[in-house]
Structure 1
């Protein structure tokens, strides 16, 4: 990651499910924030020239041998530090205090009493409602620290203002902590002195300038375009920087949504005026997927095959440019921050949720250099960038769609017949969601084809057909999600239409699982 041109707050991740929320809350102040594994070498952290550092929460105990560890030297940088939950315990443990199992664990709502005013609690009431989630607590303070807030059971906040260190046992980043945003703003803006200038306009200006410098006056780039928000915004940003020297390639992998191959081509050419090459490789992909049922293998096959197809097309473009005395040197991808985060873990590969074919899946001998202009952004931030680029709402309001397409929404083997069934069911789901005016409110809504057949009755005749699941979730960034309580009328319309209109499905169910513990996609 390159050094940003604006103020940065670094968040060291110790494995908390809320770490991404910390980053998002800080960005709501128009301050850039970046999440790094707690194991990141200190020199790499300092290369970002952070205004301050936040130590996240985590599920471990600091005194366990397997507990995630940061370089203790991070506590001696002189930069403002804020520890949150595990972060408080890490600071206490490594600075000479003592952390032990709490006699009364605190989970959920708690009332905190501010004992003395400090820069961290400036402007906050003396009593605040917070969200706790901890089984350990600081029994003995590290030298120089004072208790500045407490609950009836435990220390709630510590400070050593001479060393510019603060720590809270609760989670200010979650909505349940009512004054959490004010507390974080006190740290980020007032204590760290971060400038609130990280805006869409600033991002576009600096990103376009950086791409223009990267590619140079004669360089060319190609973009793997899917038609979704991410790759479209990435393509427009690069096009803004280098114009016609960008060529976009859109591949039909055989698992796109109904009529998507044709619709995307029209949008990219007519609305965004991009130089687009469309390649129908549906039979090639489906033949590779034949007989494969393992979801991770599906992802790998689609990712590898996409790279192969894209490589074939890039060679054609490369030869054409070379014969014209020009040369392709850059590959544009719409990689987002959640893609990067979900493909890595502070605990190592065993905890990876799922692989992303656009993160670490490129061939080692690839001659193209990468441009990933959205790599540090969350989805809603990408949409804001797109609005500032005057991109059509039809593109920006599209719900996220997985890179492996319908292949990870068809449980079991992927075949052309099963793809056709799901395309029809998914189209009905989307139509009814839009008709009800719910599409923009939902993070994602779609149909899933299950490898389960059930007995049914249609027209007094027995049927034996597939079961379809409907999934609709609400989320801010896809890192966590709640299932959406769709109105019964909408569910009834979706179910009736699918069973009546889609040959091969005779039963519809609704998924009411949140993330975590589930994931948004079924595979």
Structure 2
């Protein structure tokens, strides 16, 4: 199959870049810069961004074979600087680094920039800049600060841009990628996620064969899609395990059991491990430690269940790519943001072989796969819920009393959004219990209770997110209900921080 190869130099956005290409209907794959890989069927190569300077001692490199392959190349951020250095240009430091939204001015005609405005806003993230382009190249755009933001050699079909076209904040970003993939690389837009589903079912069959597997089912979108996909491949050799770790939303256990036993017909076993998890988490306040404790204990529960089955050798997990990226498992140069319980939070020794059929997909792609597999809308469009559950929505130590409070608050907020028609208008919404207590007034008496923060974000894939502009009257209704119905809460605030600079979850 003809494809675009994305070479990863450590950017947080590498897989998002590959996804944007796939969104166009062009197949793409990600490889590490120092992997061995074939250029067979590769019709275009993209060099990702990365955290390094091209002049650092351990700076990732690129082989001359790729640069001389005559395959069209697009270098992004670090990839642009690497092209400049390798081909005789110059890269230097600038006193004014560019981060975030920056205006770009197109100064020369380019296939990359065809069919849209000559001025646009792009997302920058760099300190190093190209100060001199290699011989034979021309500068095609400059930033508002007069910094080179793109250059190219259209004869050699080598293009370079300093900004990130893959993030939603860049205007015409998808057009730039389409111009590269379709017009420069001459690729057809015929690939779909149906191809992914067929390929993945085949891979799972070949990997598991006549053995058995268990799946860590949470009831969320990711694990649900992974469960149905695997069930299509191995049928009754899949056993679904739902672990009630005590950190779930209100009524979560009953809803999950009903959905998967009655609607999908999976072989579902519920494990009540609330006391086990809460004992392990007693006194723990550090977010990373919480995640690792939860990750390890999940694995131990699954191992215990697997031992009860004959020939059960595999553990299926609903890991998706945003989990992999944030846990710094995507590449050797990627910085860790936080450990996800099913990726960076796993213990070193695991008895089972891990299978992650969705690890190359983002949330919106997972939902599309779920639609192809026929999952009901109420599962596919549930808001994302983290594996560690409410443990990372309680800031500080976790107790049963705090869990009881947060479950009530979260349920009130979600029900308010559903009643007002806002639940499906936002990508994710939840409540966070802070350790801050403030003075309040109840009737004529002084009260002293917790501060809770409501959070709602708009996103597509979870890599970037904007805080949701929920109407004040909806927030007012939620706040009034929370303070009236949960006596331990005296103050409700609304989080208006986007990602970046914040993450979606507080911990």
Calculate the TM-score normalised by the size of structure 2: 0.91
1:417 equivalent in alignment to 2:401: yes
CA distance in structure 2 between the aligned counterparts of 1:48 and 1:507, rounded to whole angstroms? 60
Match of 1:263 in 2: 255
The alpha-carbon deviation at position 55 of structure 1 amounts to 2.0
Give the superposition deviation at 1:174.
4.3
Q: Distance in 1 between matches of 2:404 and 2:89?
A: 63
Matches within 5 A, 1:47-446: 50-58=42-50, 61-63=53-55, 65=56, 68-73=59-64, 74-101=66-93, 108-117=101-110, 119-121=111-113, 123-124=114-115, 127-131=118-122, 133=124, 136-149=128-141, 153-175=146-168, 177-216=170-209, 218-316=210-308, 318=309, 322=310, 327-344=311-328, 351-363=335-347, 365-446=349-430
Deviation at 1:421, TM superposition (A): 0.8
- Structure 1 residue 15: deviation in Å? 5.0
- Whether the aligned pair in 2 keeps the contact of 1:116 and 1:149 (CA below 8 Å) is no
Matched residues in 2 for 1:345 and 1:220: separation?
27
**TM-score, normalised on structure 1?**
0.88
CA contact (8 A) 1:498 1:505 kept: yes
Change (3 A) 1:289 1:126: closer
Once the two structures are TM-superposed, the CA of residue 357 in structure 1 deviates from its matched residue by 2.0
Correspondence for 1:27: 22
User: Per-residue displacement from partner, 1:262-305 (whole Å, max 9, x unpaired)?
Assistant: 11000011111111011111111111111111111111111111
In 1: Cα distance, 2:441 partner to 2:95 partner:
59
* 3-state secondary structure, aligned to 2:112: coil
- Specify the SS of the correspondent of 2:259: helix
What SS does structure 1 have at the residue aligned with 2:223?
Answer: helix
Match of 1:10 among 5, 29, 51: 5
- Secondary structure in structure 1 of the residue aligned to 2:411: helix
Alignment of 1:479 onto 2:479: no
Change (3 A) 1:104 1:405: closer
Measured after TM superposition, the shift of residue 70 of structure 1 is: 2.8
CA contact (8 A) 2:47 2:75 kept: yes
- The answer to whether residue 452 in structure 2 is matched with residue 468 in structure 1 is yes
Q: Is the 8 A contact 1:481 1:514 kept in 2?
A: yes
How far 1:149 sits from its partner (Å)?
A: 4.6
Query: Secondary structure of the equivalent of 1:244?
Result: helix
Unaligned runs of 5+ in 1: 1-5
Residue 94 of structure 1, CA deviation: 1.4
Separation in 2, partners of 1:210, 1:36: 19
Q: Tell me the number of residue pairs that the alignment of Structure 1 and Structure 2 aligns.
A: 503
Distance (whole Å) between structure 2 residues aligned to residue 236 and residue 394 of structure 1 = 15
Deviation at 1:454?
Answer: 1.6
Give per-residue Cα distances to partners, 1:298-324, cap 9 Å, x unaligned: 1111111111112111112x2xxx3xx
Q: Counterparts of 1:102 and 1:464 in 2: how far apart (Å)?
A: 51
Answering whether residue 485 of structure 2 is matched by residue 501 of structure 1, we say yes
Given that residues 302 and 404 in structure 1 are in contact (C-alpha distance below 8 angstroms), is that contact kept between their aligned partners in structure 2? yes
Deviation of 1:150 (Å): 5.0
**Contact kept? 1:130, 1:170, Cα under 8 Å:** no
Deviation at 1:355, TM superposition (A): 0.8
- Cα RMSD (Å) of the superposition? 2.7
Task: Answer yes or no: is the 8 Å Cα contact 2:15–2:321 preserved in 1.
Answer: no
CA distance in 2, matches of 1:446, 1:51: 43
1:3 is matched with none
Q: Could you say what secondary structure the match of 2:198 adopts? A: helix
Q: Secondary structure at the match of 2:384?
A: coil
